Amino acid sequence: MIGVFDSGLGGLTILKHFLKELPQYNYIYLGDSARAPYGNRSQDVIYGYAKEAVDFLFSKGCVIIIFACNTASSQALRKIQQEYLPKKYPDKKVLGVIIPLVEKSAKNDKIKKIGIIGTKATIASNVYCKELLKINAKLKIFQKSAPLLVPLIEEGWIKKKETKMIFKKYLRELKMEQIDALILACTHYPILIKNIKRIMPKRCIIYNPGEIVAKSFKKYLEKHPKLKTHQSNSPICKFYTTDSINNFKTLGEKFLGQKINEIKKIKL
């Protein structure tokens, strides 16, 4: 069983590509929508939330968890891997979404200037800058936090003119820098990827995070055959939310691109 965790609905854009790339596995998705967005919270609070998510998913039989949330990946993943897992789950794994995107971007010789857009917490962590420069120290990096986007998306305001106006404002500075590529450092943002591509110049590369992460995870599983992530002839996908089931279903199906039949509400 593979666990996929996000602060809300954004991680469904990652799960969507897992189901395409690796349809033979069983999945559990956990969206902590009741406490979203994580991006405006402190690192200690985010770490506490992440521990609760890890405990829940492992209790449900997951052997590996993907933090399909840039905020959790930037603020809590390392501490989870280095401190929490060795003590409590030494035989389990937790991975994030940042490194696959970093490697794809930094290893492209055509990219000299990179823009990054994400939540306050992700941008403040500078994790993308640090990891990108480890691979290519010559890169010029421009960051922009976009704190209003996740709540607007979670509220279903994707097509509202207000959302489009706010998004244009966030992207304006990055556009003026004439960046070669834009990293969507929040898994909610791919739901707006068509709008983003309309705003940014055609020459600007915009990777879909779900595609990159799914392909990277497939390679990871191939390199780690000892993980007891059994394939299934009749794979299942379970969904859990900490908030309204109706809201999760209505918006979640747009993120996932398919019907969600059963959702359970839980309290972490």
178-232 pLDDT, tens digit each: 999 999 999 999 999 999 999 999 999 999 999 999 999 999 999 988 776 677 8
Say if domain 98-208 classifies as CATH 3.90.280.10.
no
Domain ranges in the chain are 2-96+211-265, 98-208
60-72-142 Cα angle (round to 5): 150
Asked whether the domain spanning 98-208 has the same topology as the one spanning 2-96+211-265, the reply is yes
Catalytic residue annotation:
69, 186
On whether the CB atoms of residues 113 and 83 are closer than 8 A, the answer is no
- Calculate the dihedral angle through the C-alpha atoms of 85, 10, 122, 227, rounding to the nearest 10 degrees: 30
Give the pLDDT confidence score for residue 212 in this predicted structure: 97
Distance CA 165, CA 147 (A): 14
Mean pLDDT of the chain: 94
CATH topology of domain 2-96+211-265: Rossmann fold (3.40.50)
Give the 3-state secondary structure of residue 260: coil
Phi, psi of 181 (to 5 degrees): -150, 150
Q: What is the mean pLDDT of residues 89-113?
A: 96
| Percent of the chain scoring above 70 in pLDDT | 99
> Where does the chain have alpha helices with state H?
12-21, 43-59, 70-75, 77-79, 85-88, 98-106, 120-125, 127-135, 149-154, 161-176, 193-199, 209-223, 245-256
Give the pLDDT confidence score for residue 226 in this predicted structure: 75
